[in-house]
Structure 1
Amino acid sequence: MFNNSMDTRTALRLAAMCGQSYTQLEQGTESVILPAAYRIVTSIAANSAFGGRELFGFIAESDSQIVIVFRGTSTTSDWISDAIARQTNFPYAKDGGLVHQGFLDIYESARKQIVTAMSKLSPHKQLYLTGHSLGGSLATLCAADLATNTKFRDPSVYTFGSPRVGNTTFAGQFNRKTGPHYRVYNRNDMVPSLPPLVYKSPRTGDLYHYIHVKKAVELDFPTGSFAGNHAVSSYFAELAKLDPKYAKLLCAKTPGFCPN
């Protein structure tokens, strides 16, 4: 069911920013297109599963907002990180629960850069975190960290097609500490069903339990393909149906900003 408390215009703007994170990976940060009100503060680089540094997003700000954007999975090495579904302690909160080892490894390799950049920005601005696919899991980890360890309390989080990130304890503390959070997912998209609720390690036989953070915003747009059901452009197109006039204006005002 659609959650009417979610701001559709914010969701559209953030989904488009997620789309720009893929442009960044392919063409460089200088190729990112944002609305005129925003400027990029810094790019975000992180380690892939093989240890190579890759662009994973950026931090942008306007006069009233800060937006941390994380991209999703685009390379084979990222998928290997996704497959590391064993869990480890979330180290940035007391009794923080257990989280996906592969996702945390990527986030930790970018954390210093993010925290340093945020220390130079005003905590009086509204902070948004967003990400698509793997980027949704990174946004979730980052929000839990920043809400606990910085002056940025109650960050707003919008994710699109995010996998599960951690266990019940982690999800509970995330839900308590962060501000409005909307986990937008397509019921036909397989990625949000991963990792499974109970994951058994093929190597050790250990069982790991996963649960989604709140709040779920369900969309239903079967495209006929795995890639289409998961693409950020598909999410944007479906959200655009909820406010077509605004979506058209958003795309027309900043050519190249919206995913297609």
Structure 2
Amino acid sequence: MFASVLLLATLAIAAPLAPVVEERAYSQVSTAELAGFAPYTQFARAAYCGLDGLKNWNCGQACSALSDFTPTLVGGDGAKIQQYVVGYWASKNAVVVAHQGTDPTQLESLLTDVQVLQRQLSTTLFPGISSSVYVHSGFADQHALTASVILAEVKKLFTARKTSNLVLVGHSLGGALAEIDSVFFALQLPQATITTRTFGLPRVGNAAWAEVVDAKVPDFVRVNNRKDLIPIIPGRGLGFAHPEGEVHIVGTGDAVACEGNDNASDGKCTISSVPNIFGGNIIDHLGPYEGIYIGTIFCT
């Protein structure tokens, strides 16, 4: 997660305050749908655990909750390169790619977060991507470090397991990498059926980028927890925008699905609930996501 209020204030520069408005029609998320996020939350949680635990799939409660998952590739160091795990999830007949979020004790990981200048994406990794698309340079650079090796493993598993189902998961910076992965795999493996679930996701790119995510990845959900302030940064005033798919946890057993990109109209959605970083609570970034907390300290 991002480590300091000073850093958060920097990232939130020029973010316009959402007006106080009357609530309009949002969709209540059913109890069953909310409970259905739990396996994805556990994958996001597991990605923070040590490499040995990931290799052996012995990372405490998260791995125990996903006993039918078999890891085939793990990597990263949690600092210069975020940890990641790739493998096969039998009950969903799906390949899973999960990325670790920011470890606040690792300086190099924090430096990735603060590289907020936007840049264009590599046309080698993102063939056919429009020149109007810009993304957070730190996130793009981090993604590029592992894109090719993860792509090769996913291709291998698709062939070995005779599936084209792909699940992409992450929390915080890991969620940003999962969002970039969503478009990356949609372009590189057009036969893939992609499911993306992110938790505590910061904004990743400009409005053109958000439109690409919306067009290429229809099964994209970003879960925001209560007063978590990470989803409102970097600020909209810096040219950043979220794609569609927001689910905002209001309280235990209570969540709403918010229409559109960066919904600032519905009173229960994130922008109205956290109009600026001073109205947020960084502890909510860790959870609970329906009873599940995410972060290095929860790898037990």
Decide: shared fold, TM above 0.5: yes
Greater CA deviation, 157-166 or 171-180? 171-180
Partner of 1:41: 72
Partner of 1:81: 112
Q: Equivalent residues in 2 for 1:160-175 (5 A)?
A: 160-175=199-214
Give the letter for the 1:73 counterpart: T
Partner of 1:95: 130
CA shift, 1:46, in A, is 6.9
Q: Which has the higher contact order (CA 8 A, sep 6+)?
A: 2
CA distance in 1, matches of 2:86, 2:73: 5
- Does structure 1 conserve the Cα–Cα contact (< 8 Å) formed by 2:116 and 2:234? yes
Partner of 2:184: 145
CA distance in 2, matches of 1:113, 1:20: 20
Partner of 2:156: 120
CA distance in 2, matches of 1:230, 1:127: 26
Match of 2:283 among 224, 228, 243: 228
Partner of 2:20: none
TM-score, normalised on structure 2?
Answer: 0.67
Partner of 1:21: 47
CA shift, 1:24, in A, is 2.7
CA distance in 1, matches of 2:280, 2:299: 18
Partner of 1:56: 83
Deviations 1:120-153 (A, max 9, x none): 1226342111100111100000111000111443
Q: Residue 288 of structure 2: SS of its match in structure 1? A: helix
Deviations 1:221-259 (A, max 9, x none): 59x99442111x4224179xxxxxxxxxxxxxxxxxx97
CA distance in 1, matches of 2:121, 2:146: 15
Q: Residue 71 of structure 2: SS of its match in structure 1? A: strand
**Closer/same/farther in 2, CA of residues 129 and 10 from structure 1, 3 Å limit:** farther
> Does 1:67 pair with 2:102?
no
TM-score, normalised on structure 1?
Answer: 0.77
CA shift, 1:26, in A, is 8.8
CA distance in 2, matches of 1:147, 1:10: 24
**Closer/same/farther in 2, CA of residues 163 and 3 from structure 1, 3 Å limit:** farther
- Aligned residues, how many? 227
CA shift, 1:2, in A, is 5.6
Q: Residue 61 of structure 1: SS of its match in structure 2? A: strand
Question: Structure 1 unaligned runs (5+)?
Answer: 200-208, 240-257
> Does 1:213 pair with 2:243?
yes
Deviations 1:54-108 (A, max 9, x none): 4522012133111111111112321211111000112314216100000011100
CA shift, 1:41, in A, is 1.6
**Closer/same/farther in 2, CA of residues 46 and 3 from structure 1, 3 Å limit:** farther
Let me know the Cα RMSD of the aligned residues. 2.9
CA distance in 2, matches of 1:152, 1:56: 26
Give the letter for the 1:44 counterpart: G
Give the letter for the 1:235 counterpart: Y
CA shift, 1:8, in A, is 3.1
CA shift, 1:3, in A, is 5.4
**Closer/same/farther in 2, CA of residues 82 and 219 from structure 1, 3 Å limit:** same
